Copies of this chain bind each other. A is one copy, B any other.
């Protein structure tokens, strides 16, 4: 590879199903939108990220020739699951990662807006170091929501770690019991859920924490 340090990703997915090439292309684009394109380790893009989907036809089914048939939808659902699992594996295996972090945003004005907010949180070095330090620092999450520049209803802002709310309706949760949150943050999988309003938009992205090993891997050698 030309630049293996850039987390160059080559993904190959095979199915025995008989599916025509245009349908495969459409369904793959659909699956990527909620999997590989919702993945970030450090916001930096690889020069050669590749995802290829092959249909061998070995299953000898009646070929899937549209994206809307029942068979196509069942195939699309399975494909989305596979892509999501692969994307999560990439985040879990991010340079220096000690924790898989799932960021969920809901109540945004659109799915695209929710995704931009979720990526702003997932790419924030201050959020990623806080998670590494097992710190329920929701001020940093709120900061990352703000810097995304998307429409947000401040009075509706809510933030939870592992399902435990730390902020609700725009303010801190009173008399917060931190014990279950600390237990969640001590684990290998952390979920940050953020409500930014009452809109229909939602997104889920995956990332990892930012540790010393990220710097060792990316800074302690000469290319």
Name A's B-contacting residues (CB within 8 A): 2-3, 5-6, 42-47, 123-126, 129-130, 132-137, 139-140, 143-144, 146-147, 209-212, 214-215, 218-223
Q: Which of B2, B47, B220 contacts A133 (CB 8 A)?
A: B220
- Give the complex CA separation of A158 and B144 in angstroms: 33
Q: Which of B45, B210, B222 contacts A135 (CB 8 A)?
A: B222
Q: Which of B3, B123, B210 contacts A215 (CB 8 A)?
A: B210
- Contacts A45-B146, A133-B220 supplied; 15 other A-B pairs, CB < 8 Å: A5-B126, A5-B137, A6-B126, A6-B140, A43-B125, A47-B143, A125-B218, A126-B218, A129-B218, A134-B222, A135-B223, A136-B223, A210-B215, A211-B215, A212-B212
List, in ascending order, chain B residues with CB within 8 A of A126's CB.
Answer: 5-6, 42, 44, 218
List, in ascending order, chain B residues with CB within 8 A of A125's CB.
Answer: 42-44, 125, 210, 214, 218
List, in ascending order, chain B residues with CB within 8 A of A218's CB.
Answer: 125-126, 129-130, 133
